[in-house]
Amino acid sequence: MATSISHDTLPRPSFDRPVKVLIVVSPYYREIADELLAGARAEIEATGGTHETISVPGALEVPTAISIAERMSNYDGYVALGCVVRGETTHYDTVCNDSSRGLTLLGLQGLCIGNGILTVENTEQAVVRAEAKGQNKGGGAAAAALHLIALTRKWGSPKGVGFLPTENERFARSTSA
């Protein structure tokens, strides 16, 4: 059982200027989503950062929403939240694999994303993982995004890995920050 295993966590990063994070949540399982959100928001606020939250219909839409936000806004990072519970069909596998793959591809392009989309066998597992006072996977996803933002700020501008923003996108970001 996972509760008997000790987990190490990195110290919370600190920032010389506040971070701005977009939380994208699929509230299909509302109680689970609310717990994930509570954990994520608390973690971001603990660093002095700000956040906005948007909702999308399901886990498959989370990567698309993050991609759109990256192109059209000025967030430092993103937190993906939701829950997929195994059902009777293979749809579970598709949703788990494709939402995770989408987030991974965005991350490889240079986006700072914490993946807090739970993939579980039943709602009991989801509750244990989501509770902000328990395993706090929402807070863990926010912490992952924050650590990636800290690395990005430490290392500076991208060197050509992934897709670089156009001149207009760079100008828009510099004037809106």
Range of the domain at 89: 17-166
The pLDDT score that the predictor gives to residue 1 is 46
Is 51 inside a domain boundary?
Answer: yes
Instruction: Give me the mean pLDDT over the 139-155 stretch.
Output: 97
pLDDT digits (tens, 9 = 90+) for 20-64: 999 999 999 999 999 999 999 999 999 999 999 999 999 999 999
Name the band, by pLDDT with cuts 50, 70 and 90, for residue 85: very high
CATH of the domain at 67: 3.40.50.960
The pLDDT score that the predictor gives to residue 42 is 98
159-165 contacts, C-beta under 8 A, 24 or more apart: 161/108, 161/109, 161/110, 162/108, 162/109, 162/110, 163/109, 163/110
Is 154 inside a domain boundary?
Answer: yes
pLDDT digits (tens, 9 = 90+) for 8-21: 889 999 999 999 99
Is 92 inside a domain boundary?
Answer: yes
Residue indicated by tokens 């690395």: 151
Residue 161, pLDDT > 60, answer no
What does the mean pLDDT of the chain come to? Answer: 91
Is 177 inside a domain boundary?
Answer: no
Instruction: Quickly count: other Cβ atoms within 10 Å of residue 56's Cβ.
Output: 19
User: What is the distance between the alpha carbons of residues 15 and 18, in angstroms, rounded to a whole number?
Assistant: 6
Is 176 inside a domain boundary?
Answer: no
Exposed / middle / buried, residue 74 (Cβ in 10 Å: 0-12, 13-18, 19+): middle
Name the band, by pLDDT with cuts 50, 70 and 90, for residue 5: confident
Instruction: Give me the mean pLDDT over the 84-91 stretch.
Output: 94
Residue 165, pLDDT > 70, answer no
The residues pairing with 53 across neighbouring beta strands, listed in sequence order, are 23
The residues pairing with 81 across neighbouring beta strands, listed in sequence order, are 25, 116
Distances (CA, A) of 138 to 80, 86, 126, 164: 9, 20, 11, 29
The pLDDT score that the predictor gives to residue 6 is 76
- Active-site annotation holds for 91: yes
The pLDDT score that the predictor gives to residue 166 is 67
Instruction: Quickly count: other Cβ atoms within 10 Å of residue 119's Cβ.
Output: 20
Number of domains in the chain: 1
**Cβ within 8 Å of residue 148, ≥6 positions away:** 77, 107, 112, 113, 114
Residue of 7, 51, 91, 147 marked catalytic: 91
Is 158 inside a domain boundary?
Answer: yes
State pTM to two decimals: 0.86
pLDDT, greater one: 13 or 156: 13
Is 8 inside a domain boundary?
Answer: no
Is 68 inside a domain boundary?
Answer: yes
